[in-house]
């Protein structure tokens, strides 16, 4: 079982990796779910994933970057099959309808007469939720700009030559690396339930290098490491931070099963090797900028807190929408759809 995110709430708003990750050319069959909030999409996908695991198939669970307890998709790579939520904010329509994609509509389980009675409340909740997200994205945009200002402060501090030498030694030590393209996923999310980080790659890795956090110097080091691995054509899974896409928080080297990840000092104690990012800085230059860096860190935390507060409000409103839709759903019909899908997917593969 593998878990990750394929989208993020960022400084540029909602950013999705769905078009690349769920490209129809990469699949034998794609099921695209259509339905409202609280209509059972996530539960349906979880049950299909559990059926795949029970049949012995490695399964990927793609969690929602906003509601991090819910699924956005599930993939069974060995069968070339994926099921995804094709509703907003990652609207998905068929490119090769029938040949690859199949639309699965949960609308047939709606009690339309009941939902029409809730029209005003549904519309008000949808507008309020959209407002909460707009506010959250304004806070995230400001936090992102501040992060870039911090990067500019750190560039003169960072000893790039020393970092390049260390990166060179790390890359040279890689013996069994696979050549290939990079893959992008997210392992962290800024969502309605706070900041969430998955330990997927840590569980998978045979060796972990922890790059310790220090003012933002860790991201400059990871930038150099990424560039070196890219030059070598090494196959890797790259995880940007949800806030700033230029900041890489983890790189998983395929074939070697080695993880390089940004970690706090406490988390780093469980790693196999610690790379102290502070050693790649000029102490004198860092000292001269320390007051501005601390101020930027304090402001950044306040902005992130503002974003999280607005996202929490969006989550509360979404919960109210789910409760309304849940009252007017025939979940026995959803179960029938689920059973039909399981039969189609596993009929000749169990």
Check: CB of residue 73 under 8 Å from CB of residue 45: yes
Using CA atoms, how far apart are residues 87 and 76, in angstroms rounded to an integer? Answer: 21
Instruction: State residue 317 phi and psi, 5-degree precision.
Output: -65, -40
Question: Nearest CA to 151 among 274, 8, 297?
Answer: 297
Q: Among residues of the chain, what percentage have pLDDT more than 90?
A: 94
Report, as an integer, the average pLDDT of 75-96: 94
Check: CB of residue 296 under 8 Å from CB of residue 146: yes
What does the pLDDT read at residue 349?
65
Check: CB of residue 103 under 8 Å from CB of residue 110: no
What does the pLDDT read at residue 179?
84
Report, as an integer, the average pLDDT of 296-318: 97
Instruction: State residue 270 phi and psi, 5-degree precision.
Output: -90, -5
What does the pLDDT read at residue 88?
86
**Domain spans, the chain:** 2-110+329-346, 158-281
What does the pLDDT read at residue 175?
74
Q: Is the pLDDT of residue 300 over 70?
A: yes
What does the pLDDT read at residue 234?
92
Report, as an integer, the average pLDDT of 230-248: 96
pLDDT: which is higher, 333 or 176: 333
DSSP class of 97: B
- Split at pLDDT 50, 70, 90, the class of 90 is confident
Q: Among residues of the chain, what percentage have pLDDT more than 70?
A: 99
pTM, 2 dp: 0.94
DSSP class of 158: B
Q: Which residues contact 80 (CB under 8 A, 6 or more apart)?
A: 26, 27, 28, 29
Beta bridge partners of 260: 209, 251
In this predicted model, what pLDDT tens digit does every residue of 162-215 receive, in sequence order? 999 999 999 998 876 778 889 999 999 999 999 999 999 999 999 999 999 989
Q: Is the pLDDT of residue 47 over 90?
A: yes
What does the pLDDT read at residue 180?
85
Using CA atoms, how far apart are residues 49 and 178, in angstroms rounded to an integer? Answer: 29
What does the pLDDT read at residue 145?
97
pLDDT: which is higher, 278 or 176: 278
What does the pLDDT read at residue 199?
94
Q: Is the pLDDT of residue 350 over 60?
A: no
Mean pLDDT score across all residues of the chain: 95
- Split at pLDDT 50, 70, 90, the class of 347 is confident
């Amino acid at each position: 079982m593998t878990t990750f995110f394929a989208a993020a709430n960022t400084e540029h708003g909602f950013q999705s990796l769905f078009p690349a990750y769920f490209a129809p050319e990469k699949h034998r069959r794609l099921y695209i779910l259509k339905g409202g909030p609280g209509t059972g999409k996530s539960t349906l996908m979880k049950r299909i994933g559990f059926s795949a695991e029970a049949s012995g198939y490695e399964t990927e669970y793609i969690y929602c970057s906003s509601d991090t307890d819910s699924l956005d998709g599930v993939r069974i790579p060995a069968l070339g099959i994926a099921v995804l939520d094709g509703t907003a904010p990652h609207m998905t329509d068929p490119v090769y309808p029938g040949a690859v994609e199949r639309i699965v509509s949960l609308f047939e389980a709606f009690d339309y007469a009941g939902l029409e009675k809730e029209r005003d409340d549904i519309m008000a909740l949808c507008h309020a939720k959209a407002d909460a997200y707009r506010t959250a994205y304004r806070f995230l945009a400001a936090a992102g700009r501040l992060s870039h200002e911090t990067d500019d402060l750190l560039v003169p501090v960072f000893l790039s030559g020393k970092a390049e030498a260390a990166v060179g030694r790390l890359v040279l030590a890689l013996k069994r690396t696979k050549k290939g393209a990079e893959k992008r996923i997210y392992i962290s999310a800024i969502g309605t339930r706070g900041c969430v980080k998955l330990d997927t790659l840590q569980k998978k890795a045979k060796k972990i290098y922890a790059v310790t956090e220090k003012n933002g110097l860790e991201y400059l080091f990871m930038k150099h490491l990424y560039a070196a691995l890219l030059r070598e054509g090494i196959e890797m899974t790259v995880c940007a931070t949800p806030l700033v896409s230029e900041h890489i928080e983890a790189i998983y080297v395929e074939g070697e099963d080695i993880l390089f990840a940004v970690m706090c000092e406490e988390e780093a104690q469980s790693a196999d090797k610690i790379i102290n990012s502070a050693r790649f800085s000029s102490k004198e230059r860092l000292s001269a900028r320390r007051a501005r860096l601390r101020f930027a860190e304090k402001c950044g935390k306040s902005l992130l807190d503002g974003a999280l507060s607005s996202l929490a409000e969006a989550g509360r409103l979404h919960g109210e929408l789910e409760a309304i839709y849940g009252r007017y759903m025939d979940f026995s019909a959803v179960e029938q759809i689920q059973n039909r899908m399981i039969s189609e997917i596993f009929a000749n593969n169990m």
